Amino acid sequence: MPELPEVETIVCELRAQCLGRSITSAELLRGDMLKRTADTFDSFAAFFMGRFFQGIDRTGKFITFHLDNGNKLIAHLGMTGKFISAKNGDPDPAHLCSRYRFADGGWLGHVDIRRFGRLELYRSDEEIESLKGLGIDPLSSQFEADSLLKFVHSPGGNKRRTRAVHTLLMDQSLIAGIGNIYASEALYLAGIRPSRHGGKLTKRDRERLAEAVVQVLRASIRACGTTISDYRRVDDKPGSFKEMLAVYGRPGEPCQACGSEIKKVKIGGRSAFYCGKCQR
């Protein structure tokens, strides 16, 4: 599933290729992808007709397309979703779910093989329900060591104190955008075992972990994300951070720092990867 660095990469590329281009038509080819329709519009096409994308941004793993009239398209890529920029005459890709044609030629296609993603339409005055329950963005200026303390000790924190830190990092209501890959990588960089209870993190642990989260995410963004199977950029190129992964997807291989064997463990139904010597 695309995580924060992959979605950030896609957003940056979409801005460069789509902003300010007048939309002449929009097609919804897979009706099950549209989970919400703005109540004043009769059709998907009418929502976009004659408009243009004025802004595109990211909240956690969600992409928001801002139209020039204030209306919004919200997209979540699920496990296999991607956007493809195409030219006139290019063939339709397989599993095309929606398409947006531009007046100056070319179009933007939304592809999703397994269709676990979603599209939502909102009028300018409507509150975006999907973004309401998201936690802090780890790349925001507000994210720091104290953020990790707050989400463990906030209301409901008694239960969180006994949850594994790997699970806490992936809780989108606490921190928005981190998934399995970057939880494992950040914990490795911070020297913290993924099974450690959140309530047992010391102040220094929290400082190291907050720094590691930001460092890993920014490094992956510079590499345009991690392509392991389905993730592709808007130009259909893969991300190259896979070559820099220290523990994720490397069970049985030697740790790059100490040579010990990388281990894999199930935590909360998800696989976590760690070095038993470097992460105590």
CATH number, domain of 214, equals 1.10.8.50
Bridge pairing between strands 34-36 and 118-122: parallel
Once rounded to an integer, what is the mean pLDDT over residues 126-140? 94
Catalytic residue among 2, 5, 138, 194: 2
Q: Do residues 155 and 46 share a domain? A: no
pLDDT for 159: 62
Asked whether residue 140 is assigned to any structural domain, the reply reads: no
The pair of structure tokens assigned to 134 is: 């998201």
Asked whether residue 139 is assigned to any structural domain, the reply reads: no
Strands (E), the chain: 23-28, 34-36, 53-59, 62-67, 72-76, 81-86, 96-102, 107-112, 118-122, 262-267, 270-275
Least confident of 116-125, 197-206, 232-241: 197-206
Q: Do residues 100 and 201 share a domain? A: no
Q: Do residues 33 and 86 share a domain? A: yes
- Alpha-helix residue ranges (DSSP H) falling in the chain: 4-18, 44-48, 129-132, 145-153, 157-161, 165-169, 180-190, 203-222
The pair of structure tokens assigned to 111 is: 């592809």
- CA atoms lying within 13 Å on the CB side of residue 14: 26
Q: Quote the mean pLDDT of the chain.
A: 93
Once rounded to an integer, what is the mean pLDDT over residues 4-22? 97
Catalytic residue among 3, 6, 8, 13: 3
The pair of structure tokens assigned to 39 is: 């109540």
Q: Domain ends where: 69, 103, 132?
A: 132
pLDDT for 229: 86
Q: Give the pLDDT band of residue 156 (cuts 50, 70, 90).
A: low
Closest CA to 161 of 174, 179, 177: 174
Q: Domain ends where: 132, 156, 190?
A: 132
The answer on pLDDT for 227 being more than 80 is yes
**pLDDT, tens digit (0-9, with 9 covering 90-100), for 60-79:** 999 999 999 999 999 999 99
Q: Do residues 151 and 127 share a domain? A: no
Asked whether residue 280 is assigned to any structural domain, the reply reads: no
CB atoms within 10 A of CB 237: 11
pLDDT for 151: 67
One-letter amino acid identity for 248? Y
| CA–CA dist 217, 139 (Å, integer) | 8
Residue with the bigger pLDDT between 202 and 262: it is 262
Q: Do residues 151 and 128 share a domain? A: no
Catalytic residue among 115, 218, 264, 270: 270
In the chain, the percentage of residues whose pLDDT exceeds 70 is 95
Q: Is 196 designated active site?
A: no
Three-state secondary structure call for residue 106: coil
The answer on pLDDT for 262 being more than 80 is yes
Its domain, for residue 38, covers 4-132
Residue reference for tokens 């890959």 = 181
Q: Are 101 and 139 in contact (CB under 8 A)?
A: no
The answer on pLDDT for 160 being more than 70 is no
Once rounded to an integer, what is the mean pLDDT over residues 225-240? 93
**pLDDT, tens digit (0-9, with 9 covering 90-100), for 43-61:** 899 999 999 999 999 999 9
pLDDT for 224: 97
Q: Which residues fall within 8 angstroms of residue 83, CB to CB, at 6 or more apart?
A: 10, 14, 75, 108, 109, 110, 111, 234
Q: Is 3 designated active site?
A: yes
pLDDT for 147: 77
One-letter amino acid identity for 89? G
Q: Give the pLDDT band of residue 30 (cuts 50, 70, 90).
A: very high
The pair of structure tokens assigned to 44 is: 């998907």
Distance from the Cα of residue 231 to its chain's centroid: 11
The answer on pLDDT for 155 being more than 60 is no
| CA–CA dist 135, 165 (Å, integer) | 16
**pLDDT, tens digit (0-9, with 9 covering 90-100), for 76-110:** 999 999 999 999 889 999 999 999 999 999 999 99
Q: Do residues 234 and 264 share a domain? A: yes
Q: Give the pLDDT band of residue 154 (cuts 50, 70, 90).
A: low
Q: Do residues 167 and 271 share a domain? A: yes
The pair of structure tokens assigned to 206 is: 């929290």
Three-state secondary structure call for residue 48: helix
Asked whether residue 242 is assigned to any structural domain, the reply reads: yes
Closest CA to 98 of 179, 35, 143: 35
The answer on pLDDT for 162 being more than 90 is no
User: Looking at the 3D structure of the chain, how many domains does it have?
Assistant: 2
Three-state secondary structure call for residue 53: strand
Three-state secondary structure call for residue 144: coil
Q: Do residues 38 and 156 share a domain? A: no
pLDDT for 39: 62
Catalytic residue among 5, 8, 13, 61: 61
Residue reference for tokens 């060591």 = 145
